[in-house]
Structure 1
Amino acid sequence: APAAKSNFEKGPLVGLVTLVLLVATLAFFKGLIGRLAIFGAVVIGYLLALVLGDVDTSAITAAPWLGLPEFHTPTFSLAVLPLFLPAVIALVAENIGHVKSVGQMTGTDLDPLIGRALAADGVATVLAGAGGGSATTTYAENIGVMAATRVYSTAAYWVAAVVAIALSLCPKVGAAISAIPPGVLGGATIVLYGLVGILGVRIWLTNHVDFSRPINQMTAAIPLIIGIADFTWQLGSLTFTGIALGAIAALLVFHGMRLLEYLGDLVRTGQSDCPD
């Protein structure tokens, strides 16, 4: 949420145009055009930014048409390893949420595949890092696109992956994508990030979570605000941000309240309904 807001504020006009076009296209058109609403809105927002002079095209002009990636051998430093702990906690929580969201959208129980998804992220990150690339993970933007387009075919994503690799060999395309104004991205991500949140609420509803119980209220409410407000906590050289702190808070609140409920029942009645 803070990332979408920050980008939107850097170009509110093109951001608003992108957002309105996206919503209007989804509402007015059906079929292929409706499914391409996000892509179309971003392209039109980009063109508007070009007309307004908000796009720096110098990098696009200077970039060659063909190019290979620059590989770097990895280096290891035990001193920096703890710095990755907050990111790992955040990504585990994020990835599990993404898998559950896709399962909700497709009506498929994907919970047994969560371990495989986390392992695949780890293997992909190791492979990318071995050549000097950045870490890889699942992305809320892609989950939002799936929710908006209702395209869940794995074949489509295989094709998208191959096309992405081919386009990565053209630095000019990379420069053009990098030049997308923040305002355009802000307008699109307001929708995409919001859809991920709505999918989470849908999971609660589908599974009939009883929000009349204080334990469920607190387990949802506290991490929700911590995550959206992007709380941060500095512990020496470690920095824990909203998603990591929200995930930790959910575990502590839920299990802490269950323990207190159990102890309270024991004190009041000498027995407890808590199974564990």
Structure 2
Amino acid sequence: MFKWDVVYGGKTPPPGKAVGPHERLSWGRTIGLGAQHVVAMFGATFVFPIVMGLDPNLAILFSGICTILFLLVVKGHVPSYLGTSGSFVAGVTAIRLQGGDSADVTGAILVSGLVLALVGVLVHFAGANVLKKVLPPAVTGAVVMLIGFNLAPVVANVYWPQDQWIALMVAAFVVFATVRFPGFWARISVFLGLVFGYLISWFSDEVFGKITSFSAAANKVTTHDRIDLSGLSQAKWIGLPSMHLRDGVPAVHGPSISLTFVLLILPAVIALIAENTGHVRAVAEMTGEDLDPYMGRALAADGIATALASTFGASPTTTYAENIGVMSATRIYSTAAYYVAAFVAIILGLCPKFGVVVNAIPGGVLGGITVVLYGMIGLIGAKIWVDNGVSFADPLNMAPLAAGLIAGIGNVSLKITHSFELGGIALGTIVVIAFYHLVNVRRTGGPSPALASFGDIPPTHEGRRSGDDDPAPASV
């Protein structure tokens, strides 16, 4: 697990070439790629704890610890970064609306992590074919797409309004750097975009002065500097978060388990199963390895990581689609880069000064970076459909997926009782899976006349093109 073959002389691979999980470039380039993975997970890993009322610095610390745990459990075959899961936001909001505090939140998350770990154990012994039957390519593509596009409101409502022109310039820079910069520089475009955004934000503060816009910290429109480092001199270099959360609970705290609150948050496990399954299948296609034997391990590892993090008051984790986007852009899947990213995150998580710097990243900068990365996540779902020949002339692929995508991307909610509802990714995932299998029972024949106009090529079998002998592999 800790031996990587140096390929391409340690230099940037030629166009079209890839670096596998057990390979690496020079340590200098590997460190740069690890830093890019840290940058890629910055936005969501910090914003989701803030939205859930938990400590973002603690989230970074445990994202590094949990990433190492994940890599060890999967024996280095599934490159992944474990960042904060956004699938729990709706459930956490419901818990707080019912009077629960941060300890109740982390207690409910702890139980959800244990349930996910149990699912992973069952899949490990029953085989990944169980998941293949439940999540065929059409369904997997839809789930990955709704997970990516569900993040769009975070950009539109939290980041972009803080400084739309900075966001636009950063987005343009990241796109240009990814496509036009040579070799290795193109592969760290996200990191360069962050540096570029910091510089133009500082320049704007010096030349144009303060900006009047929405402030995420104040949760209202204020007049403020784009970069505020006023608390940097008072912050320590090394230490655990010692502050109290906004509900009075210490940042580092033990969980409190309540069955009522557990039931509110448990549906998020469905989204985590879909996210992990989609991630493993995506990595399998990108690396060309058969990762089915590690599907159960990946699910169990994420469950254990979520339970571990919540035991100390940190945020729930999940395999990060943001980092799939980085791998898709760089074609470098080396787990060495993920270990680097994990150790960087641990060091940064133990540095309160770093917390001040990260909290000072202008919202416009994050808006520009995430508008590109989150869009790439959603388009990975579309690529799964294309690579597997999913035909939307077939109503089986059109109607159930359409319903689930709108439910998930639009954050549609379904109120079960006065204190329990499903929404967003969880509801969208359930709709896609349930509707798909509901209408696929003992189904024969081609597309119905009602949808014949949506395509000319009649479907043969899910995951096949006409003339193929074997089902096409899952792909991103």
1:54 has 2:226 as partner: yes
**Counterpart of 2:326 in 1: which secondary structure?**
helix
Q: 1:1-276 residue pairs with structure 2 within 5 A?
A: 1-6=152-157, 7-51=159-203, 52=205, 53-69=225-241, 71-235=252-416, 236-259=418-441, 261=443
**Counterpart of 2:441 in 1: which secondary structure?**
helix
**TM-score, with length taken from structure 2:** 0.52
**Counterpart of 1:218 in 2: which secondary structure?**
helix
Distance 1:47 1:240 in 2: 42
Distance 2:330 2:162 in 1: 27
Could you tell me whether the CA contact under 8 Å between 2:241 and 2:352 is conserved in 1? no
More moved, 30-39 vs 223-232: 223-232
Distance 1:59 1:8 in 2: 24
Amino acid at match of 2:306: T
Distance 2:318 2:431 in 1: 22
Could you tell me whether the CA contact under 8 Å between 1:232 and 1:245 is conserved in 2? yes
Distance 1:50 1:96 in 2: 41
Deviation at 1:69, TM superposition (A): 4.5
Deviation at 1:22, TM superposition (A): 0.3
Give the share of equivalent positions with the same residue, in percent. Answer: 48
Could you tell me whether the CA contact under 8 Å between 1:143 and 1:196 is conserved in 2? yes
Q: Can you give the 5+ residue segments of structure 1 that lack an aligned partner in the other structure?
A: 263-273
Distance 2:279 2:232 in 1: 34
More moved, 130-139 vs 156-165: 130-139
Deviation at 1:245, TM superposition (A): 1.2
Q: Can you give the 5+ residue segments of structure 2 that lack an aligned partner in the other structure?
A: 1-151, 206-224, 243-251, 445-460, 462-476
Deviation at 1:175, TM superposition (A): 1.7
Distance 1:105 1:190 in 2: 23
Distance 2:170 2:434 in 1: 40
Q: Where is the helix percentage greater, Structure 1 or Structure 2?
A: 1
- Seen in structure 2, the aligned counterparts of structure 1 residues 223 and 173 have a Cα distance that, compared at 3 Å, is same
Deviation at 1:173, TM superposition (A): 1.1
Distance 2:201 2:331 in 1: 29
Could you tell me whether the CA contact under 8 Å between 1:86 and 1:239 is conserved in 2? no
**Counterpart of 1:38 in 2: which secondary structure?**
helix
Number of corresponding residues: 263
Distance 1:131 1:90 in 2: 23
Deviations 1:4-54 (A, max 9, x none): 222223321111011000011112112211111011111211222233331
Deviation at 1:110, TM superposition (A): 2.7
Deviation at 1:158, TM superposition (A): 1.0
Deviation at 1:97, TM superposition (A): 2.0
**Counterpart of 1:60 in 2: which secondary structure?**
coil
**TM-score, with length taken from structure 1:** 0.87
Deviation at 1:98, TM superposition (A): 2.2
Could you tell me whether the CA contact under 8 Å between 2:409 and 2:428 is conserved in 1? no
Deviation at 1:228, TM superposition (A): 2.0
Deviations 1:106-165 (A, max 9, x none): 233334322211111111112112222221212222222222222210111012111211
- Seen in structure 2, the aligned counterparts of structure 1 residues 42 and 148 have a Cα distance that, compared at 3 Å, is same
Distance 1:72 1:8 in 2: 33
- Seen in structure 2, the aligned counterparts of structure 1 residues 152 and 243 have a Cα distance that, compared at 3 Å, is same
Distance 1:15 1:253 in 2: 38
2:216 matched residue in structure 1: none
Distance 1:241 1:94 in 2: 16
Distance 1:119 1:194 in 2: 28
Computed over aligned residues only, the root mean square deviation of the Cα atoms, in angstroms, reads: 2.1
